[in-house]
Amino acid sequence: MIISRTPLRVSFFGGGTDFPEFFSQHGGAVLGTAIDKYIYHTVSHLPSWLFDHKIRFAYRKVEFARSLEDVEHRPFREILRHCGVLKDVEVNLASDLPSFSGLGSSSSFTVGLIKGLSAFQGRHIGQEELARSAIQVERNVLQEAVGLQDQIFAAFGGLNMIRFRGDGDFVVERVPISQARMRELGDSMLLYFTGITRRAQEVEASKIANMGRIRDNLKKMLLLVDRAYDALTGNKGLAEFGRLLNETWIEKKQLDPSVSAPQIDRLYDAGMRAGAIGGKLLGAGGGGFMLFFVPSEHQAAVRVALRDYHEVPFAINAPGSTIVHS
C-alpha cells in the first residue's frame, strides 16, 4: 500500500495573477504557504480476477468500475488515464478539511493522486514535474478555470514567493526569514470557516471572462505581493503585513460580485472591530475560510467576537506532497 500526504494552502497575496490569461501579458506573482492540513490518498493493488470490478475508488461515495470509462468521478478517471493506470487499482481518499473551501483542495487532490500513482508504479516524481503534471491535467485535460499556484504549493510545500512569466513558466522562491519570524507570522494568523462551501470554477470562470474589466485591479494586487514580501523579510514588525492583507481584500472584492456576500462581510467586519489588523477570504471567493492577521494581545477579543464561527488552528510552512508509507 502507498499513502501520499498532500498539503492544502493559504494564499496571502497575488491570487488571480497566477492565471496565464493575465501573467502571459503582465507577469504574475503570489505569496503564500502550504499548511499542516492535508489530503491523503491510499493506493493499493486490486486483484481484479477475484472481483467483478477492476477499479475501486472510495471518497464521499464508493465506486466499483469494470473499466476506466465506467468511473464517474471525472478528475479521478482522467488522472488514472494520465498516469497510465487503467485497472487493478484501489484508491481511498481522506481530507482534514472540507472541499470547496478556498484552500486549494482540488489541486491537492490532483497532486496527491499523481504522487501516489507514480509511487504505485515504482517511479519517483520530482516537485516540478509533479506540479506541471497537475497543471496539465487540470487546465488542458479537464479544462478547468484554475490558476497555477495551488498545484505548485501542493507539490513544493513551504512559505513561498512564486513568480509567473511567459506561457506557463514559474519560479519558486522560499521566503528567507528566521524561524522566530516564521513562528510570529504563524502565531498571528487566525482562520475561520464561513460555513459556506462553493465551487471555485464558477467564480474563476467569471473573472476570466471579464479579464479586461479587472486587469487594473489585478495589477494593483500584483504590486502588493512585493510590498508584502518586503514586509516579511525586512526588520520592522509584521503589522504592515496585516495591513496589506486588508488592502488586497479590498481589491479582491472588486474582481467579481460573487467574491463576497453580506454574511462574509459581517464576519470580516466583526473580526476587524475586535482587533484584527487585516485579513481576506481565501481562494476564489464566495465562501470557504476567512483569514485574519491578529496581534497576540487582541486574539482573545477576536475569538469572543467570532465565537459563532468555527476556528481552525493551523501551522504554516508545511512540506509538499510526500509518500508517508510504502
Mean pLDDT of 265-292: 92
Q: What is the pLDDT of residue 101?
A: 83
Q: What percent of the chain has pLDDT over 70?
A: 96
Q: What is the pLDDT of residue 40?
A: 98
Q: What is the pLDDT of residue 220?
A: 94
Which domains can be identified in the chain, with CATH numbers? 2-176 (3.30.230.10), 179-311 (3.30.70.890)
> Which helix (DSSP H) or strand (DSSP E) does residue 251 occupy?
helix 239-252
Q: What is the pLDDT of residue 212?
A: 75
In whole angstroms, give the CA distance from residue 214 to residue 47: 52
- Report whether 323 contacts 119 (CB < 8 A): yes
pLDDT tens digits for range 72-89: 999 999 999 999 999 999
pLDDT at 204 over 80: no
Full-model pTM: 0.94
Across the chain, what does the average pLDDT equal?
A: 93
pLDDT tens digits for range 207-242: 667 777 888 999 999 999 999 999 999 999 999 999
Q: What is the pLDDT of residue 43?
A: 98
**Residues whose CB is less than 8 angstroms from the CB of residue 254 and which lie 6 or more positions away in sequence, other chains included:** 214, 217
Please state whether beta strands 89-95 and 55-58 pair in parallel, antiparallel, or not at all (unpaired).
parallel
In whole angstroms, give the CA distance from residue 78 to residue 94: 19
pLDDT at 38 over 80: yes
Q: What is the pLDDT of residue 145?
A: 85
In this prediction, residue 198 has a pLDDT band, given cuts at 50, 70 and 90, of: low
DSSP 140: I
Nearest to 3 by CA among 108, 103, 121, 117: 117
pLDDT at 289 over 70: yes
pLDDT tens digits for range 49-66: 999 999 999 999 999 999
In this prediction, residue 8 has a pLDDT band, given cuts at 50, 70 and 90, of: very high
Better pLDDT: 95 or 288: 95
**Residues whose CB is less than 8 angstroms from the CB of residue 275 and which lie 6 or more positions away in sequence, other chains included:** 294, 295, 297, 298, 299, 301, 302
In this prediction, residue 205 has a pLDDT band, given cuts at 50, 70 and 90, of: low
pLDDT tens digits for range 295-323: 999 999 999 999 999 999 999 999 999 99
In this prediction, residue 196 has a pLDDT band, given cuts at 50, 70 and 90, of: confident
In this prediction, residue 5 has a pLDDT band, given cuts at 50, 70 and 90, of: very high
Q: What is the pLDDT of residue 284?
A: 67
Q: What is the pLDDT of residue 255?
A: 84
Q: What is the pLDDT of residue 211?
A: 72
In this prediction, residue 201 has a pLDDT band, given cuts at 50, 70 and 90, of: low
Q: Based on the number of CB atoms within 10 Å of its own CB, is 42 exposed (0-12), middle (13-18) or buried (19 or more)?
A: middle
Q: How many CA atoms lie within 13 A of 122 on its CB side?
A: 1
